[in-house]
Amino acid sequence: MVGLVKITDTASRELVSNVLSSRRFTVRATDSTHKAIDLVSTEERIGLVIADITAGEPDRKFLASLKEKQPGITIILISDKQRLSAMAECADVGGDDYLTQPIDIKKVNGVLNRVAANCPPPQEPGLGSGLMTTTTRIISKYRLTRILGKGATGVVYLARDINDDSNSTYALKLLNPPGESSKETTKREILERFLREAETASLLNHPNIVRILDYGLSEEELLPFIVMEYVRGRSLRYYIENNLAVNLLQKIHIICQIAEALQEIHNSNICHRDLKPENIMINEDLFVKVADFGFARLPNSDLTQSLDILGTPCYMSPESYSSSVVDSRADLFALGVIAYEILLDQKPFTAGSLTALMRKIKNECPLGPHRIDPGFPESLQLILAKLLKKDRDSRYQDSKDVLADLKEYIDEALEPPKTAEAAALFDSTEIVGEIDIQYLVSKEYQNNTDWR
């Protein structure tokens, strides 16, 4: 078999070429993407490509195109990134496996053993044992087929259980590993805590929460992973940005479902700490599933600090900017930000820099809802104001209280005024579906000091 080596660094190129030669490959080596393209076009027996992507986009296009035209070819990517980023980069170009710099003979032989032609997949689980004869990887017993999304905490893949003939699909998330500078004993402790805390979160069973079905560590590289049910639908972010036709009561129904999910999470002594529209899935029936909640973010857990998971800035509570030790009330602040965004089509806090955003969240009041929509219901504004209190002791203390106030508003909204005199107290009417909802706008409401 012919092995093509396209590596810019001379020493690395020679090392890989020598290893391939010792394994009876006919080696074609170059430091140029253009030369590699020429070799591929003239050499029909190439079955293995080991390449870096130092040329950037041209290299990516070359490798992706090569895999598309020759699906049976094996591509091993050499990356100067850390492991998780290297894996994502490898998947992006259709690679089958990867090596991280600095490389040595042991690393090269190890990856070649994993992708040896016509070798059946090893039985032991783990990232390092994944046989990559197609554009997939294997983590434990799950075959990764494509990337669903990337975020600060990891990469999410569509996955299938290789032992399950039903062809069911799952969402598998590879979490960022502990820092490369961490001591080995510290890394082990962090990962052991991850397993304990993941077990706690996996016990959650609520219709508005994406279920965790499996979790573990890839055996060779100790990358934490979780396997979740795969939810078909759109993120709440999609609904907000595309201004989909969702009426007021439907919006409140979405907020209530998020609150119900938080209540279950908090009752299990877990904080989400990264609640945002991107982590909330909605199907065509407007049924909500909260995803990616933080089993690695239990209250008083130093795993939160160790993995450096802090949340998304515009949804973080004021206290989150001052301390990594937060509780469920930080999630309720995030719920307030999301509710404001759902109901008013804009975020309560925006700024041109992280420093300015932090200052606004900690010190400034958001724009009053009645200034955006003069007919905005007073009772809903009071709910938002309490969710967005700077002082967490003044905020809602429990999700069930938020639910109670929201459901009370719904009951009042659905009940028409009993007399003409009562109706005269209202100065605006909004049509929501088939329902006339009338709003009282009082001086106290308009002068609320929680708003600017």
Please answer whether residues 12 and 103 qualify as being in contact, where contact means their C-beta atoms are separated by less than 8 angstroms: yes
> What are the φ and ψ backbone dihedral angles of 20, each rounded to 5 degrees?
-65, -40
- Other Cβ atoms less than 10 A from the Cβ of 391: the count is 9
Strands 26-30 vs 46-52: parallel, antiparallel or unpaired: unpaired
Strand, helix or coil at 255? Answer: helix
> What are the φ and ψ backbone dihedral angles of 138, each rounded to 5 degrees?
-125, 125
Largest distance between two CA atoms of the chain: 94
> What are the φ and ψ backbone dihedral angles of 289, each rounded to 5 degrees?
-130, 120
Is there a catalytic annotation at residue 308?
Answer: no
The CA distance from 113 to 131, in Å, is 9
- Other Cβ atoms less than 10 A from the Cβ of 43: the count is 12
Please answer whether residues 25 and 3 qualify as being in contact, where contact means their C-beta atoms are separated by less than 8 angstroms: yes
- Other Cβ atoms less than 10 A from the Cβ of 378: the count is 18
DSSP 407-439: HHHHHHHHSPPSSHHHHTT--EEEEETTEEEEE
Please answer whether residues 375 and 439 qualify as being in contact, where contact means their C-beta atoms are separated by less than 8 angstroms: yes
Question: If we measure between CA atoms, which residue out of 66, 119, 120, 133 comes closest to residue 93?
Answer: 66
The HSE-up count of residue 61 (CA atoms within 13 Å, CB side) is 7
Please answer whether residues 38 and 61 qualify as being in contact, where contact means their C-beta atoms are separated by less than 8 angstroms: no
The CA distance from 166 to 164, in Å, is 6
The burial class, CB within 10 Å (0-12 / 13-18 / 19+), for 142 is buried
What region, left, alpha or beta, does residue 140 occupy, with left being phi > 0 and alpha being psi -120 to 50 degrees? left
- Write down the catalytic residue from 97, 274, 292, 405: 274
Task: Look up residue 357 and give its two tokens.
Answer: 């955003």
Packing angle, helices 33-42 and 57-69, rounded to 10 = 10
Q: Which helix (H) or strand (E) holds 187?
A: helix 184-202
The CA distance from 305 to 311, in Å, is 12
Please answer whether residues 377 and 409 qualify as being in contact, where contact means their C-beta atoms are separated by less than 8 angstroms: yes
Give the residue numbers annotated as catalytic, written as ranges. 274
